[in-house]
Each structure stands twice: as structure tokens, then as C-alpha cells.
Amino acid sequence: MGFRTVGLGSQGTLVFTRNLKVGDVFEGIYLTSEIDKFGGDVHKLKLTKQSQVLTKKKDDLDLTPKNVYPGEEVSICGGGGGLSFSMKNVPQGSKVRLTYDGKQKMKSGAYAGREAHTWKTEIDETADIPF
């Protein structure tokens, strides 16, 4: 008996927080959170609504808009501690809406005064999961 390739592992479309605009929204099914090779969190969603992200090829200097469609996976990298903290309260398989709110100065803690990426994290508790 031999092995047959049925799919290759993929992170889907990588979304780097540094390339987002205030108000960018990702709606989808929360799949999982993982640690990347640099020790940062990566949050994976299967989209239920079309989004647009800015991407670039490895050797390209310019960012290019790319549409990502329902059913596609996105991996959000570099979201910061706030996103990671809120995602700990989201059960896998939940329908979520993540809205990027830009950078704001932290008001307290060890990093007070420094800017951090901020997100609004919402769960749709009435959703029928389409996938």
C-alpha cells in the first residue's frame, strides 16, 4: 500500500498586523492559535466573509491588495498581546469578527506609554457554522 497526497499543510494567507489599516475586518470561524518560530502568536480563521489584505512577495518592496474569500484560511501574525489575550476567551469553532483598531498608547503596566496594536474581538453566539 502506498501513500497518496491529499493536501499540503498551509497557513493560508498570512496577514501581518503592520500592514493593516484601521477598520480592517476579518469574519470567520476561529480554528486555532499557534506559536510561530519567533515566539509570537498566530491566530487562524476560516473566513465566512470576503476581506482584502495587503501582501507582498518575498523580494518585492511594494504591498499589493489581495482579496481573500469565504472558505479560505487566514493566519493573523503580530497581533500583539491584546489580541492574544482576547482570543484565549474564544472557543475553537466559534464565529468571530476581528476589527483592527490601530495602535494606541498603553496606559499602565510594564509597557505604559508605548504603542500597541488594538483589536475589537466579537463572538457571534447565534451563528450557524457554515463549514
**Domains of the chain, CATH where assigned:** 13-124 (2.40.50)
- What pLDDT, in 10s, does the model give residues 61-94? 678 888 889 999 999 988 778 899 899 989 999 9
pLDDT, residue 129, reads 57
Return the SS3 of 114: coil
| Count of all residues that appear for the chain in the document | 131
pLDDT, residue 127, reads 64
- What pLDDT, in 10s, does the model give residues 3-55? 444 333 456 788 888 888 999 999 999 999 988 888 889 999 999 999 988 87
pLDDT, residue 11, reads 62
- Which among 93, 87, 76, 92 is positioned nearest to 25, based on CA atoms? 76
pLDDT, residue 90, reads 93
Contacts of 23 (CB under 8 A, 6+ apart): 99, 100
Q: What does DSSP assign to residue 87?
A: H
Pick the more confident residue, 1 or 69: 69
Distance CA 61, CA 43 (A): 25
Model confidence, pTM: 0.81
